[in-house]
Every structure is written in C-alpha cells, then in structure tokens.
Chain A
Amino acid sequence: MTIQHQTSDVQAAAPARAAFYNDPTVRAIFWQVVVCGAVLALIGYLVSNALDNLARQNIASGFGFLDLPAGFAIGEGVIDYEPSNTYLRAIVIGLLNTIKVAVAGIIFATIIGVIVGVARLSPNWLIARFATVYIESLRNVPLLLQLFFWYALLVEALPVAREAYGPILGFYLSNRGLNVPLPHDIGFVFPLIGLALAIAGSAWLYRRNKRIHDATGETPNTILPVLIMLLVFPVLGWIVGGFPTEFDTPELGGFSFKGGGVVSAEFMALWLGLTLYTASFIAEIVRSGIQAVTKGQWEAAGALGLRRSQILRFVVLPQALRVIIPPTTSQYLNLTKNSSLAVAIGYPDIVSVAGTTLNQTGQAIEGIAIIMAVYLTLSLSISAFMNWYNKKIALVDR
C-alpha cells in the first residue's frame, strides 16, 4: 500500500515534464494560431484597402453587374448572342468557347502525341528523326509565339474572302477562316441517328469480343463489322430520311460569306497551336511510358509470334498506360489553362470576355474571381475524370 502510494505520489508530482511552452502540442497550436492570424491579418488588410479604393472610385462591389446589358460584340459563340444580352450570357459564351477549344485540342493532341511518341521509338531511323525534330522544335519555343505565328500565317498568307480557296465540296478557305456547308434539311437527323447507332453498336461489339477473347483466347474480327456499321447505318438513315440533299452552303456576298457555318481563323490558330504544342509534350510522355515497359515484355511477346503492332497494342501499351496517364492528365490541364492565351489573338474565350467585362465595368475583383472559379472548376473536373480512368486501368492485384 505504502509503496503504491509512493509511486502514485511520484507520478503526480512528476516535475520532470518540460515547461508548458516546450510542449510540442502547445507549440504546434501556438504556431498555427500565429500563422493563421498573420494570413488573416494580411487578407483583412488587403480587403480593407480594396474596399477603400473601390469606395473612392465609386465602384459597387458584388455580382449585380451580371444582369446588365453587355454592349460589346463577340466574334463567335456556340449559342446565340447579341450585344444587348447580359454580361452573364457573354461570360457563358466565353466559357463555352474555352470548353470547345479545350476539348478539340485535347482530342487531337492525344492522337498526334501518341503517334509521334511511338514514331520516336520506331526502328525506322528516318521516322524517328522526324519525331525528334518535331518534339524538340515545338517544346523549346514559347506557345504564345507559336500562336502568334499560326494566326499571322492564317491571316496574312491565306487569300481574302473574295479570292478564297474553293469551293471544294462547298468548303471555302480564306483569311476569315474555314466556311463550311451545314445540313439544312430536317431529314439529316436520320443519318446522325444512324451514326450514333453505329457507334453504340461498335462499343457493344468491342466489349463482347473482348469478353470472348478474355474467356477463350480467340480474337473475333472487330474492325470489319465496325467499319461496315459505320458505313451502312448512316446510309440507311439517309434513305429513311428520304434522301435529303439540301445544304446551307456558304456563298460569297460582297466581302464576306453568307450562310453555312464558319470555323474562324482565331479558333483554327488557337486549336492548331495548342494541339501541336501539347502533342510534343504528350509524345515525350508516351515515349518514356513505353520505355518504362521492360525489354523482357517485348521479347516475350515477340517469342509468342506477335507482330510489332500487336505487341504494342496487346502487351506494351496497356502496361505503359499506367505510367502515361498521370502526367498526361497534367498536360490536359495545361492545355486547358493555356487556352487562355486566346486573348492574345482575339479568340473570345472566358479570359477575353471576362477581361472586356472587367475593363467596361471596373469590377476587377469579380472579373478575376469568375476567371479563377471557371478554371478551378474545369481543372477539378478534368482531374476527377482522369483519376476515375486511372483507377479503372490500374493494376489489380490478385
């Protein structure tokens, strides 16, 4: 009893504990409070300055201006827009334009990037050199310079609308952009339905054949039925739709084209620049991904009698993909963010529209907040999608 009593006494009195200001927990809390306080104080100071300045310049803060008429024209948009529409609608147009060029850029940059990356490892010496020159020359020159170059080339080197190249199948190419015929007839919906059906059918067939392949090892022919479906279904739709032939073709009237659709020179320059630049980075990622697959895999696949194309498709690429996906995701993010350079060549993307809004209304903080919110949302969506895809193809341990 006494001994126990003594021990607990010693514990209770334990002055061996360090002073409270040397306690790691206390210190951690102290430093966090200090840092948070400093950050909050800095933000508070900046905000109070901003409020002062805004008050002096008679600028009302808040997003009320979004309902006012914008009053400026926008060169192109996915949905209809007139200067009398609101700022909100203008900004939505800008957002859709950003998404349009980003999606088009990502698709083509991936295709070109994979081709160039594989070509760089080609046993064909000449092709490999071609790919190297492509990669090195595009990677080492600023994207903005490339955009200016493509835009200047399109605008200066192509003829004016009067002397446009074409028409080839109703297409005209001039320094205003590419004028394309658009289907005019309601009957054209049916070939589109046919095409959609063909794509859905191909996807189904691909999965079915993969299941058969995984179960039995046989490889049913996929490519031929897919090609047939892609050809036959739209034609069937065209027949069902009653052979529609009417197109809204662009026609030269005065100094510009009337009718049809147009892919503007700004869009083409931005899309071309973004695609080629990002493709050079994706190519390097693809190359290093393929090189990360050990030589034994190539040799084993070769020993099974697979051709080079089959080795790439069935053995190497599925393994390389796991290395390739994460850095490619950040390239997609870069492409989306780089599409903001549109402002320099006059393509009305979100930064350009929000910048004009900002200049007209003086709502600097709100304008920048909108730009940042849009890009953060886009970035997070792309990351989420790519993470989902990455998980799907990740190695499943048994």
Chain B
Amino acid sequence: MTERTVQPHEDWSRPPPATTGVIGWMRKNLFSTWLNSLMTLGALYVLVTTIPGLFQWAFIDAIWGDNPPEVCKNVPGACWSFIYEKYRFILFGVYPWEEHWRPLLAMIIFLTLIFGSCIKPLWVLGKWIILIWVVGLVMVGVLMWGGVLGMEYVDQSQWGGLPLTLFLATFGAVLSFPLAILLALGRRSEMPAIKAICVAYIELIRGVPLISILFMASVMFPLFLPTGVSIDKLLRAVVGLILFSAAYGAEIVRGGLQAIPRGQYEAADAMGLSYWQKMGKVILPQALRITIPPMVNGFIGGFKDTSLVLIIGLFDLLYTTRLAFQDINWRPYFVEGYVFCALIYFCFCFFMSRYSQWLERDLAKGQNY
C-alpha cells in the first residue's frame, strides 16, 4: 500500500477542478446523473433538429421587404412581404386608409394612459388620474370617430384591428369593475334574497362559455329590446364582455373581502359606521389592494378572450389577420400572419403577467400576514 503523500500546493485555496466555471456548471446542471445526461442529450437533439431549420425558414431563406406574392412562390423560407403588404390592414382593419394616423395616435394615447397608470410613482396623482383618463378618452373618441376639426366621420362599424382589441379589453374590464364589486358585496351579504340573486348570477355566468354570452348578446339582445330600438354590434359585444367579466371579477373581489380579518368589520361596526361607510372607507380599500394582482391576471384572460368577438363578426386583431390572408394571392402565407398576430398578443400578455408578478411582490412588502 503506497502511502499517499500530500504535496502542499498553491492551488489548494481553489475548489477542486470541474466543480466551477462552465464545466462545473454543466456537470451540476446538465449531467448530474445518467438520466439527466440522457435528457440533456435528448433536449439538445431536439434543439439541433429544429432551431437551425426554423432560423433558416424565418431569416435566411425568407423574403423581406416590398415584394409581390409571386416572388414568394417556390421560396422555402417565410414570406415576410405578406406582413409588409398587409400590416396596416391587420393593425387597423377597414378603417379608411388615408386616416390610419388617427387610430395610430388614438392607440398611442390609450397605451400611454394604461402604461402611465401602471407606473407606481405616478399613483401619487390620486384622483387626478381619473381626470387625465377622461381627457385622454375624449381625445381617443374624437380621433376615432372624427366628424370635428376637419376630420372625416368614421362609423364604429369600420373600426378594427389592434385598437378595437385594446378598447374591448379595457372597457370590458374597467366597466365590469363596479358591477363586480356590487356582486361580491351582494354575495357576502346577510340578506338571503340579495345573496341568492348574486350567487345565481355569478354561478350561471361562470358555468357557461363566453361564446354563449356573446351569442346571447348578438341574437337575444335585439329580442329583449322594445320594438324599434336597436343597439350597435360593438356596444352589444362590450355589454356581453362586461356581464361576463363581472362574474369572474366578483369572485376575485370576494377573495379579497374574505382575506380581511373579522376584526376590521367589527371595529367598523363599533365605530357606528353605516354599511356603505364601513365598506367604502374601511373594508374595500384594504380588500381591493389585495386583489390587484389577480385582477391583472383576470385582465390578461379578458384580453385574450376578446379574440372571440370575431365569432359575432367584429373586426378584432385576430379577424383582420384572418381576412388578410383570405386574399387569394397571399393565401399560402397564413403561418406568417398567425406568427405576427401571436407576437402582438404575446408582447401584451407577457408584459402584463410580468407586471402582475412584480406588483404582487411589491404589494407584499412589509406585509406580515
């Protein structure tokens, strides 16, 4: 048995080789067991077989810039000329071509309002935010409808694309909020009749798909209105979306109400506050704060759900995308169209979900319960 001699060495202060650096990282994270190594190799194989092909399709073999559809024929790569040709139609639908700057400007104002409301330092503006929103929305409305300041009048039946999707999502969510709060309060009420009405409404709406609500909005609303009165298709869709998201919002608010400790309710009662004072000044300010992150998640769901309005014939972003490749020359390039559309949806939803995660962490700061 040879005696192991240990040579003092300057490298002693260092960790053993192959536990640090790239190799160490790979050993730890990719090849820690034989099963792991197998999975890594499998994943690498999938990457090697798909990524170069995708890259080739999307970039190298692709046709860029302003080209007629004939150029794309017999080309193995993506035909981004389709997007180049049709992006204005996809984004703005059948809005008059020369007036596209109006929905664009309206959208920029609208997005600025939304992004601005998401920035926490601006929350100190408090009630001024509402005023800014009102002013902003009036500007958006003037730009979209026109008819004043020398702008041509554009009927809302010609609105379409991304602005329409954004308006539907935002108004569906914002306008459903008061109804959601009332329903949640009603569901927590001690009055049996009111509680029963609210529970029945919430469970009925949550039990059926959005499509059936939109169907109802499009075929049943006209029946329910007095003879001679008709409401616009867009308005019907918005009402349908509001009625739908109010039921889901109510459940979120109820979660917030339930999270407020009993003592808060009792303390408010002991102060001799009336029901609306108790709710408005003590309970709801705390409960709504908790419900902001799930509300944002609900908004993401609502944003994606607006794509369903194409079933009742509104020109939202998804519908204009589909119409863009109904053009017989561009028919084969549906993948490019869907990828473009999906990227727009993805950017919005991904940003919002990250925002909701950040908000959740931020609101949880300094909270011990």
Contact = CB atoms under 8 A, between A and B. Distances in A.
A140 B343 CA distance: 9
10 nearest A-B pairs in the assembled complex, by CB-CB distance: A140-B349, A125-B29, A337-B209, A32-B193, A340-B209, A142-B304, A142-B307, A46-B224, A379-B207, A364-B219
Contacts of B190: 28
B308 A36 contact: no
A393 interface: no
A57 B328 CA distance: 39
27 contacts: A32-B193, A32-B194, A36-B197, A46-B224, A50-B220, A50-B223, A56-B227, A124-B30, A125-B29, A126-B39, A126-B44, A127-B43, A130-B43, A136-B350, A137-B346, A140-B304, A140-B350, A141-B349, A142-B307, A142-B318, A143-B304, A144-B310, A145-B341, A156-B334, A338-B209, A340-B212, A365-B220
Given A130-B43, A355-B215, 10 more contacts: A53-B222, A127-B43, A139-B349, A145-B338, A153-B335, A337-B210, A351-B209, A368-B219, A375-B212, A376-B207
A372 B208 contact: yes
A149 interface: yes
Interface string A136-173: 11011111110011001100100000000000000000
Given A127-B43, A375-B209, A49 B219 contact: no
A321 interface: no
Q: On chain A, which size bracket covers the interface?
A: 35 or more
Contacts of A149: 335, 338, 342
B193 A351 contact: no
B227 A53 contact: yes
A31 interface: yes
A144 B322 CA distance: 12
Contact of A145 (B191, B193, B318): B318
A54 interface: yes
A312 to B, nearest CB: 13
A145 B350 contact: no
B324 to A, nearest CB: 13
B56 interface: no
B338 A368 contact: no
A229 interface: no
A244 B307 CA distance: 51
B308 A341 contact: yes
A293 interface: no
Contacts of A123: 29, 32, 36
B345 A368 contact: no
A364 B222 CA distance: 11
Contact of B39 (A50, A127, A141): A127
Interface string B206-239: 1111111001100110111111000000000000
B contact patch SS: helix
A140 B346 contact: yes
B264 interface: no
Given A32-B193, A53-B227, A152 B334 contact: yes
B360 interface: no
Given A126-B40, A140-B353, A365-B223, A145 B334 contact: no
A136 B318 CA distance: 20
A52 interface: yes
Contacts of B346: 137, 140-141
B210 to A, nearest CB: 8
A31 B224 contact: no
B204 interface: yes
Among A124, A143, A156, A379, residue most surrounded by chain B Cβ atoms (within 10 Å):
A124
A39 interface: yes
Contacts of B308: 144, 341
Interface string B312-333: 0000001000100000000010
Interface of B: 29-30, 32, 36, 39-40, 43-44, 46, 190-194, 197, 204, 206-212, 215-216, 219-220, 222-227, 300, 304-305, 307-308, 310-311, 318, 322, 332, 334-335, 338, 341-342, 345-346, 349-350, 353
A104 interface: no
A344 B318 CA distance: 12
A64 B105 CA distance: 54
Interface string A322-344: 00000000000000011011011
A130 B42 CA distance: 12
Nearest to A373: B208
Contacts of A49: 223-227
A50 to B, nearest CB: 5
A16 to B, nearest CB: 16
A139 B353 CA distance: 10
Contacts of A66: none
A56 B225 CA distance: 13
A65 to B, nearest CB: 15
Contacts of B304: 140-143
A50 B215 CA distance: 16
B178 to A, nearest CB: 16
Interface in A102-153: 122-127, 130, 136-137, 139-145, 148-149, 152-153
B212 A368 contact: yes
A46 B216 CA distance: 13
Nearest to A140: B349
Contacts of A142: 304-305, 307, 318, 345
B207 A380 contact: yes
A375 B208 CA distance: 5
Given A140-B353, A144-B308, A344-B311, A371 B208 contact: yes
A214 B304 CA distance: 48
A223 interface: no
B311 A343 contact: yes
A148 B338 contact: yes
Contacts of A137: 346
Nearest to B186: A35
A182 interface: no
A358 interface: yes
Interface in A1-57: 28, 31-33, 35-36, 39, 46, 49-50, 52-54, 56
Interface string A269-293: 0000000000000000000000000
A287 B255 CA distance: 22
A173 B130 CA distance: 57
B222 to A, nearest CB: 8
Contacts of A52: 226-227
B79 to A, nearest CB: 14
B225 to A, nearest CB: 6
Contacts of B334: 152, 156
